[in-house]
Amino acid sequence: MLHIVDDEDVIRDALAWLAQSRGLQARGYSGGQAFLDEVRQPDPEGDCVLLDVRMPDMNGIAVFDQLVARGLLARLPVIFLTGHGDVPMAVDSLKRGAFDFFEKPFNDNMLMDRVEEALAASRKAADSAAVQERLATLSAREREVLDLILAGMMNKVVADKLGISMRTVEVHRAHIFDKMQVKTAVELAGLLK
């Protein structure tokens, strides 16, 4: 989802139309607080925020600071839009994690290309977060078995190394595959690369 945060209706509508021309879903917000009130959790399918710097209720930098404080930048990459930008503002926002910074007027295709890249980065961050959540469900012993499986060891070798029965290794392996939502060790390795 592309979130367009700009106080000018005509800009929001034009950007939404531009996004839809690329097959992207877009939603507009007339101000920073309206956006922050509505968006609590990023979409696993990917999000991107086009954020105007100057708005009357809450400026874009303040909205950006809120997203940073909530730890959401990886899942909600921000592309700043401004008609009044300056180089120090752009450099500072990029150093603090903004995805990009565009001055109005901007090249439509260049902006939408960056939006698509930001959406891809958001999806990748969501996938990584989901894998980390699954890893956190493993017990300490399952983590040990997982590490040895990833090292390419067979069940018998894992059992000998950990001083447990081969049947216990098989049970741990089945639990690991179930929790990590994979069917094979190859899938597991691909997921954790």
Tens digits of residue pLDDT in 48-73 = 999 999 898 888 999 999 999 988 88
Q: Give the C-alpha separation, 167 to 152, whole Å.
A: 18
Using the predicted structure, report yes or no on whether residue 29 has a pLDDT greater than 80. Answer: yes
Axis crossing angle, helix 108-136 with helix 166-180, rounded to the nearest 10: 150
Write down the pLDDT at residue 43: 75
**What is the 8-class DSSP label of residue 83?**
S
Residue 138 confidence (pLDDT) above 90: yes
Distance CA 50, CA 148 (A): 44
Read off φ and ψ for residue 29, nearest 5 degrees.
-135, 135
Contact 144, 162 (CB under 8 A): yes
Domains of the chain (ranges, CATH numbers) = 2-128 (3.40.50.2300), 137-192 (1.10.10.10)
